[in-house]
Amino acid sequence: MVLRRHPIAPKASGEWMRVAKIGSKPSREYWDATARHMQNGGANRLWQAHSDAVNIGLFSRWLPASSGCLLKTDLFDESLNQGLLPFLEDRAAVVTGIDTSFQTAHAAHGRHRHLRGVVADVRRLPFAEGGVGCIVSNSTLDHFESHDDIVDSLCELSRALRPGGQLLLTMDNLANPAIWLRSRLPFAWLHRLGIVPYYVGKTCGPRRLREYLREAGLEVVETTAIMHCPRVLSVAATRYLNDRIGERARRRVLRVLLTFEWLERSPIRYLTGYYIAMRAVKPCH
């Protein structure tokens, strides 16, 4: 695994608390401190297992059995549990992951010793133009401060894709009333109430995201919404149950949460889904 350390050494948890209190723009130091906090018991692993299951259900439909060289745009899930890596490795010849946080990438490598990883910013990818066959970006681009950062990231992902390659993208869904309301409230308040565990940034609804993808030179071929269970209640319940139930009960809880995904087939899916999901292809011409 390739890990290029950021020249500024990450601070202790004070940086994490400082950003949480005043809602300032998160730095790499902030994400390093957040990663340490999550790895030291701050993570809700039962909820993360549900998130992984929902994402795998989506990508199993969208990701071809042989995807060549695949890039995953963050390693947060893999730093805390299995994440999507075992599934992606079954679908691609080579899987490379990037993360802006050295702490996250280092922890992911500790769990997955064979992982190919790079500490990098998705807005400035260290890859040649057209060198990647497929990109999986699940809830990475919704942690930036501005829409310009989202557009820059999509343009950079498009640059790295080979013609005919595809981008599988999920982001917070602004068409969902709960996400819309959350986006209007100060992060510091939301964090203090336990509604968001770390910084959440700008996002958009289905129409604007399609426009951004077209601006980046990508053709949207499929759109849906995922993660339909009531999020605030579900996160609170799974956090309470996380260390209080055994493996068999955990499986039952996960099955119950997954039943809400039938709403993906309903006409109101963009109102109930917490994430917008799009599959986009880079044209060959």
The CATH number of the domain holding residue 207 is 3.40.50.150
Q: Which of 6-15, 78-87, 123-132 has the lowest mean pLDDT?
A: 6-15
Q: Tell me how far apart the alpha carbons of residues 144 and 251 are, in angstroms, rounded to a whole number.
A: 34
Predicted confidence (pLDDT) per residue in 29-45, tens digit: 889 998 898 888 878 88
Q: Is 142 within the bounds of a domain?
A: yes
> What's the rounded Cα separation, in Å, for the pair 62 and 40?
34
How far is it, in rounded angstroms, from Cα 49 to Cα 225?
19
User: Can you give the pTM of this predicted structure?
Assistant: 0.89
Domain that holds residue 168: 14-43+66-227+265-281
What gap in Å lies between CA 152 and CA 63, rounded to an integer?
A: 24
Confidence of residue 8 (pLDDT cuts 50, 70, 90): very low
Euclidean distance between CA atoms 31 and 197, whole angstroms: 12
User: Does 105 fall in a domain?
Assistant: yes
Average pLDDT of the chain to the nearest whole number: 88
* Predicted confidence (pLDDT) per residue in 166-181, tens digit: 999 999 999 999 999 9
Per-residue pLDDT, 185: 87
Angstrom distance (rounded) from CA 75 to CA 150: 18
The pLDDT of residue 41: 82
**191: helix, coil or strand?**
helix
Domain annotation covers residue 254: no
Q: Summarize pLDDT for 237-282 with one digit per residue, the tens.
A: 999 999 899 999 999 999 999 999 999 999 999 999 999 999 999 9
Rounded to an integer, the average pLDDT of 206-220 is 96
Burial 30-51 (b: 16+ CB within 10 A, else e): bbbbbbbbbbeeebbbbbbbbb
In a domain, 113, yes or no: yes
Specify if 99 maps to a domain: yes
Q: Give the distance, in angstroms, between the CA of residue 5 and the centroid of all CA atoms in the same chain.
A: 22
Whether pLDDT at 23 is above 70: no
Domain tally, the chain: 1
Looking at the DSSP bridge assignments, the partners of residue 278 are 169, 223
